Amino acid sequence: MLDIGQVIPYNLNMFKQAQGKHKAGGEATREAILATALETFRQRGLEAATMREIAKSAGVALGAAYYYFPGKEAIVQAYYDRVQVEHLARVSAELAGGKYDLLERMRIAFRTKLDVLQGDRKLLGTLFRYTGEPDHPLSVLGPGTRANREQSIAVFALAVGDERLPEDVRAVLPSVLWALHLGILLYFIYDNSPGQERTRKLSDGLLQLLVRLLSLVKSPLLKPVRGSLFTLLRDAGFFAEPSSPAAVSSLSLNEEA
């Protein structure tokens, strides 16, 4: 019995180690497929690339590629998730590095998003085509990407921070910033200036105008008009409900996982 008591823990430890190695190997395989697929999409475009080509380039069997990603749409969804995690990480790191006013915080949120997507303009051009197809799972305005939308809006809510604003303005401002950043990304796709410098200047200028507009909107005299306008836009579905910290927390948990 003494001998058996020593053997059992040893066998259990070996089993745990094997599980850990299998999990690590599986994650490495998934990452290899994802990285290969994204590079293929960047070079050849989403439509031209095939799962067979991706599997061959990644050095895995076609069945293994389909095991981790049922199709190209699943790969793009993983890309969306990765972009949100990276955006949150960069914004959080920069905001933690100093005390900034509202304009600078918003500029950080926009600038870091452009930095994350700098090498993906061709891929973005393909993905933006689905915007006009509400039911397409990759449409940035469709139900299939709702979680990504909420996470992105929550990151912009971090940029708004504890700025002193009327509650109705605070409720919709993150969504306004998210909508504005979509327009900026569309211009970003077509911008052929070095480093897309024109996009960055346009972004900075629009945010500066927005801050000036906010100073006017905060006036008590405009509260009735502001309330009617925001209610109209929210009822029409242009703005989501106020972003909650849960969206950012969920994104953080996904990043750690």
Distance of CA 26 to the CA centre of its chain: 24
Choose between 255 and 124: higher pLDDT. 124
How high does pLDDT run on average in the chain?
83
The confidence band for 257, taking pLDDT boundaries of 50, 70 and 90, is very low
pLDDT for position 155: 96
pLDDT in tens, 161-173: 989 888 888 888 9
Q: Per-residue pLDDT for 185 more than 90?
A: yes
CATH 3.40.50.1100 is held by the domain 1-70: no
Q: Per-residue pLDDT for 195 more than 70?
A: yes
| Domain segments of the chain as ranges | 1-70, 72-256
Burial of 219 (0-12, 13-18, 19+ CB in 10 A): exposed
Task: Write the CB contacts of 161 (distance below 8 Å, at least 6 apart in sequence).
Answer: 95, 102, 105
The residue to which tokens 């190209």 are assigned: 72
pLDDT for position 99: 87
Reported CATH class of domain 72-256: mainly alpha
| Range in 54-58, 124-128, 152-156, 183-187 the model is least confident about | 124-128
The confidence band for 224, taking pLDDT boundaries of 50, 70 and 90, is confident
pLDDT for position 17: 54
| Range in 35-44, 102-111, 176-185 the model is least confident about | 35-44
pLDDT for position 7: 47
Choose between 182 and 131: higher pLDDT. 182
pLDDT for position 130: 86
Q: Per-residue pLDDT for 225 more than 80?
A: no
Q: Per-residue pLDDT for 158 more than 90?
A: yes
CA angle 29, 32, 36 (to 5 degrees): 145
pTM given for the model:
0.78
Tokens of 152: 């992105």
pLDDT in tens, 80-126: 999 999 999 999 999 997 789 999 999 999 999 999 999 899 889 88
pLDDT for position 248: 52
Q: Per-residue pLDDT for 75 more than 90?
A: yes
